Chains A and B, each alone.
Chain A
Amino acid sequence: MEFFRYLGASTRESFTKLGRSSYFLIETLSGISSVLMRPRLLLKQMHSVGVLSFLIITISGLFVGMVLGLQGFYILSRFGAEETLGVMVAASLVRELGPVVAALLFAGRAGSALTAEIGLMKATEQLSGMEMMAIDPIKRIISPRFLAGFLSMPLLAALFSAVGIIGGQMVGSGLLGVDDGAYWSQMNANLDFQKDIINGVIKSIVFGFVTSWIALFEGYDAIPTAEGVSRATTRTVVNSAFSILGLDFILTALMFGEN
């Protein structure tokens, strides 16, 4: 009996949370128009969300590309197909690793920071203070951060893929002796703009939307204590990782299912 009571309670709890988060999302989206009237707010958040994630994204991208170059070379050279290294590196980066790893890093670097910031604003009653001054905290605080995350994510993912491909080329043709021309021309011939690049960008847009939503909602919904904020930050990273990987599977199945 106790178990069923617990199950029922947690079901009710998760439904109300879903409802609150959907309401929160609608509020946030409707606040975007007022953000566009004040681009200074957006720019400030683009700086803290995008520019400050720039370094971790480029360095991780470079190393992921270099590792792909090494591993791909070892396997492909066994079949005498080193020339297709470029295709392997570029396809795996553009289709999967670029959007997914960039989004995971983004959730860890920017998402957790957003949650902690907004949770602390709530704990120190800054949000209530704004409401007292008749300033809508969603329009003033949440919407600019949401839009900044949503816009930065595709750019960061593209950066990750591009830097990774260059890293793969550095290792492949610089270190291991794959022909430089073959690296690029095979890539050029086998990757499709519509199928690979655009789908990768669509993925990163979806991930940016979901990650920003989760991070901001967890912060806004946090219990306003030190422990509550720390838990909300953990939840942001965990839930973002789950939704990114789960959504990635669904999107891949939809996009690359039929050839």
Chain B
Amino acid sequence: MPHNNTQDTLVGLFVAAGIASLFFLALQVSNLSSFTKGNTFEITARFSNSGGLKVKSAVSAAGVKIGSVKSITFDPKTYESVVKMDIDSQYKTLPDDSSASVFTAGLLGEQYVSLDGGGSDDYLKQGSKIEITNSAIILEKALGQFLFKSAEEKKSSSDDKKGKK
């Protein structure tokens, strides 16, 4: 029956196209392909301000993504934010005196944690704590300081002028 055969082929093509586009959505569009669960180790860093950092934000070293933020909690005793990060276990040779900073990608981009290597011979491992941290730069705070500073400078320079008279 040739008619049934073409019908079979067409339905087969249709189903294949549908499933292929589902795979396309899963792999190309969403982040399923970068899902590497299990092969990670956890490190902790304490920031006095973690800014707009979110769970699943990137953790990078030298601009390369090496892990992601697992949880962010507030420590009510020290008033610090405790950020737990999962690092891909292939990067287990990071020195344990590395420093962590919260940076912003671009002016208005996402915030991420950047790890900068230190000089220690011991490496970060499961459960390590990062001692040296730099907090996020809060744009409003920085702007406020800048405005305040420039106003001060103006004031002092106009005071100088008055003093000369």
Q: Give A residues with C-beta under 8 Å from B.
A: 40, 43-44, 46-47, 50-51, 54, 81, 90, 94, 152, 154-156, 158-159, 161-163, 165, 184, 187-189, 191-193, 196-197, 200-201
Contacts and interface: CB of A to CB of B under 8 A. Distances in A.
B139 interface: no
B17 A54 contact: yes
B11 A193 contact: no
Given A165-B29, A197-B29, 17 more contacts: A51-B10, A90-B29, A94-B29, A155-B17, A155-B19, A155-B21, A158-B25, A159-B18, A161-B25, A162-B21, A162-B25, A184-B28, A187-B29, A188-B28, A193-B26, A196-B30, A200-B25
B7 interface: yes
B64 interface: no
A159 B11 CA distance: 14
A162 B29 CA distance: 9
Main DSSP-derived SS at the B contact region: helix
Nearest to A196: B30
B19 A191 contact: no
Given A46-B11, A47-B10, A51-B11, A197 B21 contact: no
Contact of B30 (A44, A152, A155, A188): A188
4 closest A-B pairs by beta carbon, nearest first, are A155-B18, A162-B21, A193-B30, A193-B32
19 contacts: A44-B7, A47-B11, A50-B14, A51-B10, A152-B18, A154-B18, A154-B22, A158-B18, A161-B25, A162-B24, A162-B25, A187-B29, A188-B34, A193-B26, A193-B31, A193-B35, A196-B30, A197-B30, A197-B32
